Amino acid sequence: MQTIAVVDYGMGNLRSVVNALERVSEKSHRVLLTSDPAQVMSADRVVFPGQGAAGDCMRAIDEFGLRQAIVEAARNQPFLGICMGMQVLIEHSEENQGTDCLAVIEGQVRYFGDSHKDAGGVKLKVPHMGWNRVRQSRVHPLWNSIDDDSRFYFVHSYYLELESPAVVAGECDYGRLFCCAIARDNLFALQCHPEKSADAGLQLLRNFVNWDGQL
Amino acid sequence: MALAKRIIPCLDVDNGRVVKGVQFVEIRDAGDPVENARRYNLEGADELTFLDITASSDDRETMVHVVEAVAREVFIPLTVGGGIREITDIRRMLNAGADKISINTAAVFNPEFVQQASDKFGSQCIVVAIDAKRVSAENEQPRWEIFTHGGRKSTGIDAIEWAQRMDQFGAGEILLTSMDRDGTRIGFDNELTRRVSDSVRVPVIASGGVGNLQHLVDGIVEGRADAVLAASIFHFGEYRIEEAKSYMKKQGIEVRDD
């Protein structure tokens, strides 16, 4: 039996994530929604979702005593960060007057801005909400059987700015080109919501539940 | 710009049954929410909105089961509205698998509720539904007010100012319905939509009045809506979502069609 731990630290609706993982899992997989650091560390795979604001997320992670378990899992097990679960892996976010995050990946999280515009000067709404194309920056097991430039569902007002282009696995264009997927060793993380991205999203989750964490 | 404009079919649910549902031949039970949702998903709907029109609050629990069943089958964003008055109502629907909750009347009577909801669950899941009606005379500067009780009761609140206030209070999205156009099939009130869309930071969903596919295009081009919501044109098999998308695409609108 292979365990997939979905980290529950009270931030947002994890039901969709669990539903989608169960849909793509085989009989030998067990999806476990858990707040227990020991269960996170001993799971075969870890999914780290998140919604809401960075400040609240970091506070909740510490209240649940999950900081160390998440950082360790991000270094050791096949690990999938989703949305805010990707942003808080970075060193620092501009959100909530500045929030120090988990610093697993070097970089910053920045606000799109209240007067975000496209190249033609047309106002863009913030949050970036809806289906946008994901350009695969490199080959990765989690992109298997997913067409390049497939659309995924996004909802976010902040985006990643990385120190090193080496960890960029996918990019998206919303007024600016931004990194929407990162990959390093056993870690993969996405800004968009695979659990809400119909077939492409389910395929990515299917790839994850069968991934051994190797490149 | 690669972000697609969204098409959102809206389904009215009364006591667990879809009352204005799709009439697809391949659907055995037209009132089953899961079958409707599955069919719309296959056709390429970008999101689904379920509106609970159950009269009695005792029967609201039924809606929770509907959301649970749909969320197990369909992996696109689900919005649930109708009768959302308290934080516990929101939590219950999110736990059942809804992604966004639409707040309407409760926001008008208690605007702070929107703020509380957004602080608690994040603005990404709070949709504020605004029912607006033109109150200006033909020769006056156009003005719209917020109405409650299905458009029967005026509140005296200016619709544009209200939308801006809801944006500041943490709405992640505005679902804007023209009460003048609702059910008329003569098209959205694009002037209203444009005025609201230009005054807020967040996405605006146009609603009320769609009778043909050109109306969807107009809502986006003239109304500058980020998404269009429609009920009746999809329900009776009149148009399929993919037809709507290919029509919009031909008019130069970015849609999700692959």
Annotate chain A with DSSP letters as a single string: -EEEEEE-SS-S--HHHHHHHHHH--TTEEEEEE--HHHHHHSSEEEE---S-HHHHHHHHHHTT-HHHHHHHHHHS-EEEETHHHHTTEEEESTTT-EE---SEEEEEEE--TT-B-TTS-B--SSEEEEEEEEE-S--GGGTT--TTEEEEEEESEEEEES-GGGEEEEEESSSEEEEEEEETTEEEESS-GGGSHHHHHHHHHHHHT--S--
Neighbours of B1 (CB within 10 A): 13
Task: Give the pLDDT score at B25.
Answer: 64
Nearest to A125 among B46, B98, B202 (CB): B202
Task: Report CB contact under 8 Å: A197, B122.
Answer: no
Residue B240's pLDDT is 93
Q: Which residues of A touch B6 (CB under 8 A)?
A: 130-131
Residue A213 pLDDT class (50, 70, 90 cuts): very high
Q: Would you say residue A70 has pLDDT above 90?
A: yes
Annotated catalytic residue within A57, A128, A179, A195 = A195
Please say whether the beta carbons of B175 and B128 come within 8 A.
Answer: yes
Contact (Cβ atoms closer than 8 angstroms) between residue A54 and residue A89: no
A179 labelled catalytic: no
- Give the pLDDT score at B111: 95
- What is the reported pLDDT for B21? 60
Which CATH number, 3.60.150.10, 3.40.50.300, 3.20.20.70, 3.30.479.30, labels domain B6-250? Answer: 3.20.20.70
Residue B1 has a pLDDT of: 56
Q: Which helix (H) or strand (E) holds B126?
A: strand B126-134
Q: How far is A12 from chain B (nearest CA, A)?
A: 6
Among candidates A118, A174, A196 on the partner chain, residue whose Cβ is nearest the Cβ of B99? A196
Mean pLDDT is lowest, of A20-24, A89-93, B44-48, B59-63, for B59-63
Contacts 24+ apart (CB under 8 A), A59-66: A60/A9, A60/A10, A60/A11, A61/A9, A61/A88, A61/A102, A63/A9, A64/A9, A64/A10, A64/A35, A64/A37, A65/A37, A66/A7, A66/A9, A66/A35, A66/A37, A66/A40
Calculate how close chain B gets to A125, using CA atoms only, in Å. Answer: 5
Is A11 or B234 the better-scoring residue by pLDDT? B234
Domains of chain A: 2-209 (3.40.50.880)
A131 chain-B contacts, CB cut-off 8 A = 3-4, 6, 46, 256
A140 is catalytic: no
CB contact under 8 A, A51 and B122: yes
Of A52, A129, A198, the CB nearest to B76: A198
- What ipTM did this prediction achieve? 0.95
Out of A85-94, A123-132, B147-156, B220-229, which region has the weakest mean confidence (pLDDT)? Answer: B147-156
Mean pLDDT in residue range A1-6: 95
d(CA A175, CA A173): 6
Contact across the interface for A23 and B75, Cβ inside 8 Å: yes
- Least CA distance to A198: which residue of chain B? B75
Q: What is the pLDDT of residue A185?
A: 97
Looking at chain A from residue 54 to 113, which residues have their Cβ under 8 Å from any Cβ of chain B?
none
pLDDT of residue B152: 84
- Do the Cβ atoms of A102 and A75 come closer than 8 Å? no
Residues 6+ apart with CB under 8 A from B94: A12, A13, A15, B101, B121, B125
| CB within 8 Å: B77 and A153 | yes
Is B4–A131 a contact, with Cβ atoms under 8 angstroms apart?
yes
User: Which residues are CB-contacts of B52 (< 8 A; sequence separation ≥ 6)?
Assistant: B13, B60, B63, B80, B81, B82, B83
Handedness of CA B53, B55, B60, B63 (dihedral sign): negative
- pLDDT computed for residue B30 by the predictor: 79
Inform me whether the C-beta atom of residue A118 falls under 8 Å from chain B C-beta atoms: yes
Query: For chain A, what percent of residues have pLDDT higher than 70?
Result: 100
**Chain B partners within 8 Å of A95 (Cβ):** none
Options A57, A83, A179, A192, the catalytic residue: A83
> Residues of A with CB below 8 A from B77's CB?
153, 196
CB contact, 8 Å: A125 with chain B? Answer: yes
pLDDT at B60: 77
Closest CB to B71: pick one of A19, A122, A174. A19
Residue range A195-212: mean pLDDT, rounded: 97
Pick the residue from chain A with its C-alpha nearest to B41.
A198
Q: For residue B97, which residues of chain A lie inside 8 Å, CB to CB?
A: 13, 15-16, 19
For residue B202, list chain A residues with Cβ-Cβ distance below 8 A: 125-127, 129
At B22 the pLDDT is 63
Interface touch A51/B46, C-beta < 8 Å: no
Of A15, A131, A174, the CB nearest to B96: A15
Quick one: pLDDT at residue B24? 63
Any bridge partners for residue B9, and if so which? Answer: B230
State the smallest CA–CA distance between residue A209 and chain B in angstroms. 17
Question: Exposure string (b/e) for A42-52, b if CB count within 10 Å is 16 or more?
Answer: ebbbbbbbbbb
User: A52 contacts in B (CB within 8 Å)?
Assistant: 121-122, 124
CB of A172 less than 8 A from some CB of B: yes
- pLDDT at position A78 over 70: yes
What is the average pLDDT score of chain A? 96
Residue B75: which of A124, A173, A201 has the nearest Cβ? A201
Chain A residues with beta carbon closer than 8 angstroms to that of B98: 13
Output the pLDDT for position B151.
79
Q: Which pair of tokens denotes residue B232?
A: 């009746």
The residues of chain B scoring below 70 in pLDDT are 1, 20-26, 57-58
